[in-house]
């Protein structure tokens, strides 16, 4: 399997080799540009995404159990995996970023000028790890996109976590409230946890619209754009959703 196919969850008949995740800047830029082309091809096939303008946000779990994934470059590779979505959808090719533990932090926006070394420079060197609460960061995402910076645009949030949260009731509340606004939550579970709560959240009833999707991968290198963009087109096409940003 090629380097880029492995990193992007591609398939090949040859036995899989371990992913190389600590790349030079030149390798990373090349990888991102290839991925942007892949995203564009997928969007051409999924008509609601063809020509779509959307803000893209990335939320990263900064709980203690994620420590090794930050140290070995895996989280940086995830940043580089999601950035091409912002390059495809966002007018400024920029991605908003948050980390969360018990609380949360808004981080500087990411683009092609500052992505390299971002995790080490903007996260690891500045913040301490903690527990796992989803609701505080979700409330801040709602605050930023709906209250502080409202726009007639859909907002696509990729939410990376390696385990269950301790605040189910508060998370249920914000998910239901956000369902009335143009925010779609794409939850991605990384690792071998059961993710029971996120599986239930994916099928939650009594929402204005279904505004969340969830899938799990044992390894972050298995995240694919087909999975990331599986339910977003259907949400975009929902007449109730269209009315939110038309």
Task: Walk me through the domains of the chain, giving residue ranges and CATH numbers.
Answer: 3-245 (3.40.50.410)
pLDDT for res 9: 42
151 pLDDT above the threshold of 50:
yes
Model confidence pLDDT, tens digit, residues 116-150: 999 999 999 999 999 999 999 999 999 999 999 99
pLDDT for res 15: 36
Pairwise CA distance, residues 119 & 99, whole Å:
10
Model confidence pLDDT, tens digit, residues 184-221: 999 999 999 999 999 999 999 999 999 999 999 999 99
pLDDT for res 20: 56
Model confidence pLDDT, tens digit, residues 1-58: 333 333 444 433 333 333 456 789 999 999 999 999 999 999 999 999 999 999 999 9
Q: Are 184 and 156 a contacting pair, CB within 8 Å? A: yes
**Residues in Cβ contact with 245 at an 8 Å cutoff, skipping those fewer than 6 apart:** 151, 152, 153, 154, 182
Return the number of other C-beta atoms located less than 10 Å from residue 43's C-beta: 20
pLDDT for res 181: 98
pLDDT for res 23: 85
Pairwise CA distance, residues 105 & 108, whole Å:
10
pLDDT for res 93: 96
Pairwise CA distance, residues 140 & 174, whole Å:
10
Could you tell me the pLDDT band of residue 246, with boundaries at 50, 70 and 90? confident
Q: Are 59 and 160 a contacting pair, CB within 8 Å? A: yes
């Amino acid at each position: 399997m090629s380097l880029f196919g492995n990193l992007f969850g591609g398939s090949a008949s040859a036995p899989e080799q371990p992913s190389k995740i600590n790349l030079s800047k030149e390798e990373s830029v090349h990888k991102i540009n290839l991925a942007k082309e892949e995203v564009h091809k997928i969007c051409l096939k999924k008509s609601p995404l063809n020509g779509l303008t959307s803000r893209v946000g990335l939320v990263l779990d900064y709980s203690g159990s994620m420590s090794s994934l930050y140290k070995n470059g895996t989280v940086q590779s995830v940043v580089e995996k999601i950035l091409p979505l912002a390059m495809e959808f966002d007018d400024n090719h920029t991605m908003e970023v948050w980390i969360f533990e018990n609380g949360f932090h808004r981080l500087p926006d990411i683009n092609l000028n500052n992505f390299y070394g971002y995790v080490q420079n903007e996260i690891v060197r500045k913040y301490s790890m903690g527990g796992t609460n989803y609701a505080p960061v979700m409330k801040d995402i709602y605050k930023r996109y709906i209250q502080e910076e409202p726009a007639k645009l859909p907002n696509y949030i990729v939410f990376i976590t390696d385990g269950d949260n301790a605040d189910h009731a508060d998370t249920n509340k914000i998910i239901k409230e956000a369902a009335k606004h143009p925010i779609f939550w794409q939850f991605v579970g990384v690792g071998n946890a059961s993710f029971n709560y996120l599986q239930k959240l994916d099928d939650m009833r009594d929402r204005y619209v279904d505004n969340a999707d969830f899938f799990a991968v044992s390894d972050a290198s298995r995240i694919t754009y087909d999975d990331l963009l599986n339910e977003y087109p259907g949400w975009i096409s929902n007449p109730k959703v269209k009315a939110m940003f038309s």
